[in-house]
Amino acid sequence: MGLTDSKAIEAEKQAQKEYEEAVQQIAASGLLGDSDIIAEVIAEPDPTLELAQESGMEERMAEIAVELLARAPEHDVQPSTQRVVDCLDILGNPQNSYRSIHITGTNGKTSTSRMIAALLAEKGLRVGRYTSPHMHTMRERVTIDGEILSRQDWVDAWDQIRPAITLVDRASAAAGGPPMSTFEVYTVLAYAAFADAPVDVAVVEVGMGGRWDATNVIDADVAVLTTIDVDHSKFLGPTREEAAREKVGIIKDGATVISAIQHPDVLPILAEAVTSHRAHLEIEAKDLLLLDRTPGVGGQMISIQTPAATYQEIPFNLLGRHQARNGLLAIAAVEAFFGGGALDGTVLEHALMAASSPGRLEVVRNSPTVVVDGGHNPSGVEAAAGAMKETFHGPIVGVFAAMADKEVEQMLGVLEPVLDAIVVTNLSNPRALPIEDAREIAEDVFGEERVREEYDLLEAVDMAASLAESLNKEEMTAPAVLTIGSIELASRVRELFGKAARSI
């Protein structure tokens, strides 16, 4: 807090004191007879003081953000969880004070986590949820009872864990190792905040991989594996098998494992992990079945079967077959968490109708419809493209930007049969693929006549909307715009349309 802010606060405190004394003098004179009114006047919040306090909180949050971002980036995975173990041990192992469900996989982790949390909350539990990455504010990563951590709670959690982080950093440096990474610190903060709340259960999404992920210090009752594919190959390896070996590392002794359909190359690795940990496996297409689904405006109806029950025609708020499959995994995970019994139909209906997944096939504008999706690898883009084709029957124009290290040509190849045209745009991120390169690849895939380029994002969305409307020749169909290619693009588009939480 600056000197000017301090002086302003002191001046306001003095003015408030003088005001209260004046009110008391008036009361003593008998000019005011209602003591409740006097008390109400005195207790009335001072907006100037509140503004200064808010400014001070913003400064604290900014200071914390600077320190976090000065650490190793979260995608810089070290093959050890020891720093997290040591830090949590100093803090008294808060992660052991509540039960947990752990989620890994390549795509769908956050959506599945959100559905699991919603189902648990509908069952009456206090739920903490830890997901990544964030789109607008780091506080999004940690939610309690469905609400992101407040600034005050974030600062309190930081102040609680900061001394332990310092000790671990010093010990690691003395041994020739690195300080704790950004993601390791986020994880410790989340586990501490959950214990402080306290929550009954934590729903924890892996950051990357599983075996060496910072989150993998919990003894989760249930491990959930969404479909495993190649992604983050620099860190997890270039094959499904290598990625799978990392991801099955979250399976603990005696746990129940809920798995999506897996590639034949992955199945032996999954089976070996389940056997070695004496775990119980329920896998999609064998134990877990998506029996039927009926897409509709704003969602779908799904019918599913688990070992515990058959659930018919559940109304579901999210679009796409992939989200229905994520919902199947979420329901099975919550059944397992409660011992394997069936869930009440009302619980399912309330939780899944209230389910949301920002930045995942999210409609941010109507007429024409603008849909935001954070798909950033071929399988994620394929899921979104399929849902768009199923839901929207008029022209669809894409707005695309991606990171340079992603499989851009494959993503565009998946989009080509679904999109009538595409607008490539810019991201102000050093990791982003330059717009000129994106256009060149897009023209190779779509042909020059179907590709446009617009540096400014808002102009790119407007261009796509105008193009979609101009291509619409049928009165009974409506055009749509799909923005896709990276989580950062999803974040920026949400901000443009006023969907973002306050930053920091």
Query: What is the predicted pLDDT for the residue at 87?
Result: 98
- Residue 48 CB-density burial (10 A; 0-12 exposed, 13-18 middle, 19+ buried): middle
Both structure tokens of 345: 């139909």
pTM of the model: 0.86
DSSP assignment of 204-240 equals: EE-SSSSTT-TTTTS--SEEEE------SHHHH-SSH
Both structure tokens of 203: 């729903």
Question: Tokens 């969602």 belong to which residue?
Answer: 299
Cβ partners under 8 Å of residue 252, min gap 6: 219, 220, 223, 277, 279
SS3 of residue 161 by DSSP: helix
Query: What is the predicted pLDDT for the residue at 39?
Result: 39
- Residue 476 CB-density burial (10 A; 0-12 exposed, 13-18 middle, 19+ buried): exposed
Query: What is the predicted pLDDT for the residue at 21?
Result: 52
Q: Please identify every stretch of the chain with a pLDDT value under 50, giving residue numbers as ranges.
A: 1-5, 8, 15, 19-20, 22-43
Distance CA 27, CA 312 (A): 68
Distance CA 257, CA 265 (A): 18
SS3 of residue 451 by DSSP: strand
Distance CA 368, CA 375 (A): 21
Query: What is the predicted pLDDT for the residue at 29?
Result: 42
DSSP state for residue 288 in the 8-state scheme? B
- Residue 280 CB-density burial (10 A; 0-12 exposed, 13-18 middle, 19+ buried): middle
Q: What is the pLDDT of residues 207-220, one digit of tens each?
A: 999 999 999 999 99
DSSP state for residue 358 in the 8-state scheme? T
Q: What is the pLDDT of residues 188-207, one digit of tens each?
A: 999 999 999 999 999 999 99
Query: What is the predicted pLDDT for the residue at 163?
Result: 98
Distance CA 481, CA 463 (A): 10
- Closest by alpha carbon to 435, among 490, 485, 493? 485
Q: What is the pLDDT of residues 424-450, one digit of tens each?
A: 999 999 999 999 999 999 999 999 999
